[in-house]
Each structure stands twice: as C-alpha cells, then as structure tokens.
Structure 1
C-alpha cells in the first residue's frame, strides 16, 4: 500500500441529530514533495492526475474506509456501512463522512475529533495501489521535472486503486514509503481517452476476473 498526501481540506460540522459531518477534499494535479533528496539524492515529487481514483470510487461494491493515520484498527467511516459518501471530479476527490453519536464515544474517534478541533490534524492521505502494467498500461509516468537541469523526479499517477483515506497530522513519507515507489524514468505517455474512464473500468474488470 502506498500513501499520498495533501495538507488541508477538512471541515467538521455538527448536525441537529448529534451526528458529526466531516467533509474532506483531496485536490488532483497538485504536486506533493515526498523527499527533498537530502544532501546527495534527487528531490522526488508525486502528482495524482484527474480522476486517478475513479475506478474504486464509482463502483458501489468496492469498499473504501476513512481511517485515522492509515490504521485499519481505527476506522471512522466506510462505504459499506453507508457512512462514507465519496465523489470524484476532474478537480478533486471529495467526501462526507457521518460520525454517529455512538461512534463519537469511541476512544480513537474522540481523540481524532479533539485533535482536529485543536488544529493538530490538518491533512489527508490516501492509501492506494498501482494496478499491474498488464491490466492498465501507462497507469503512471516518471520523468525529470526539468530535463535541462535534471533536478527532480516527478511521478504522475493516472490510475490507482483507492482503499482508504486517512486523517493525518501532516502528510508524511517514511523512507520505506518513498522507496516502494517506481522512480525509474519511463518517458512514457499518458492514458489515452479510450482507456481512461469507461475503458479503465473494463480493463480492471478483466484483470479482477
């Protein structure tokens, strides 16, 4: 499982019923700096292209969780429970999670809400996998951000399988997460129109079968 990240985009409201409505927004086409490269390495950045998460978001049978800190032992909401509504657009992945009064009594939920109110939890981080090349060719592309200078590597993801979205204190990338990614420049192209929306679904369905 890989993690992505972007700061901000969280809003918490209380409904008349006593339930909490948590709204979140993860913008596409925004570069996240995974590593500054240190003294000898090269800076590494990652961009999630428009509708990169579309496949599992639009399929009602595909489960997606809202978690605290990428921990499946600390769930806040989920699609299957009917407490997580996720929507996709060219600009962003957005969601609304319903946190019932009963769930608000759970220790990790109470702690997470308190941390949000204190301004300590301000980030979102999706957990995802890249589909196999045989299933979705050109699902990702790695290139030099400035070929003339060769300063940074930038990895653009066009198709990914989203499994969870996490609330985090800040999007952070341990070295193990960074190294798990493919950083070999491909010089490849982007997904063609016929393989990006409906075509992506058909391709993944063949792979899943």
Structure 2
C-alpha cells in the first residue's frame, strides 16, 4: 500500500458561478513558499515543477478519495496551469451528490483547502544551514483534491528520501578513487529512485 505525505499551507479554494456553470478555483501549490515539515526540514516547490505533469491525465477528487471524482483533465472538467504564483486549479463541479455537497461546503467555508498527490521525479537537498532544505523541481501529478484540512501525520517518506541523499553524498565524499565512481553514481541513482514515492502536499 502506497504511503502518502500531506502538507498544509495558507491558500485554498473558492466558488465562482456564471451562466449556470459552477467552478471551484484555487491553488494546489505555491512556488518558492517554504513549509516547515514537522521540524525535520524546510520544503519548497520550484517554478516549473508541474510544467510537464499538467499535460497528463489528472483527476480532481474530494479528500484524495479515488471513488469521489469531481473532474478530469481528459474530459476538460479539470483545468490546470502554472503561473508565476503556483499550480492553479479550476474544476467544473458536477451535478452529483459529491459535487453538490462540495459546492455547499466550500461556499459555507467548511472546506477551504486544496491538496495534490504526486511522485517526485527530481529534487535537491541543501544541508548547509541549521535545517535541511528540500527543493522539488519536477513531479508526476496524479490528482488534486478539495480538502477539509491538510494533515501532517506522515513524514516518513521524506525522511527516508533525505537519508538516501545523505548516504549518496557520503559515498561521493568517501570514494575519491576514480575506480569507485560507479559505486557513487549507483548510490545517487538509488536516491533518485526513492524520490518516486507517492506524496501529497496541501494548501489551505
């Protein structure tokens, strides 16, 4: 079973209605916005991280529940774009139980957050300061969600990725013999592979 990390922030989702079409709009991620991940590290998402991913087939869900689909890029009911601020989201809310309930809850302010589920394809770690800084440069995007509140209960995958990076760096520093270089590169590849674990970040 895939473990999912969740992240929280300050920006969320709002309703817009025009010509009998109901659309939820918001940002699922904000670029270069530092997030403290449980005191373990600072994380930020670099501009362009979603550039390739938003061309794929992405779903819009309620609370990351695959059984509660409210939009999809392939059908045109979910529209994703990168702007100077972050990952912008527009979802045409369906006339279904989930869609109608969600619309009401967002209007009331009971649901005010957005999240996204993704796999990291390229990231970098910097440990020159007091706390490690993780910069995510490229992701594979699976879904965006409207959420009641983001959770912070699972940082294990990221901690594991940080340890992989440390191990790879240590191997690079210790193997000064040119003949040992392939071993260092293998350790680095192992770290990158580790970054493909599915994660979720949230904003509200």
44, 51, 54: which one aligns with 1:54: 51
Greater helix fraction, Structure 1 or Structure 2:
2
Structure 2 unaligned spans of 5+: 170-204
Tell me if structure 2 keeps the 8 A contact 1:2–1:129. no
What RMSD, in angstroms, separates the aligned Cα atoms of the two structures?
2.2
Answering whether residue 88 of structure 2 is matched by residue 97 of structure 1, we say no
Q: Cα offset for 1:123?
A: 1.4
SS of 1:170's partner is: coil
Higher-Rg structure is 2
Q: Which residue in the other structure is 1:6 paired with?
A: 9
- 2:139 & 2:6 partners in 1: Cα distance? 11
Q: What does 1:1-209 align with in structure 2 at a 5 Å threshold?
A: 2-16=5-19, 18-25=20-27, 26-36=29-39, 43-57=40-54, 59=55, 62-99=56-93, 103-104=94-95, 106-131=96-121, 139-144=122-127, 147=129, 150=130, 152-175=131-154, 178-181=155-158, 182-184=161-163
- Tell which has more relative contact order, 1 or 2 (C-alpha 8 A, sep 6+): 2
Paired with 1:159 and 1:67, the residues of 2 have a C-alpha distance of 22
Any unmatched runs of 5+ in structure 1?
37-42, 132-138, 189-209
Aligned residue-pair number: 161
Paired with 1:67 and 1:12, the residues of 2 have a C-alpha distance of 16
Q: Is the 8 A contact 2:6 2:153 kept in 1?
A: no
Q: Where is the strand percentage greater, Structure 1 or Structure 2?
A: 2
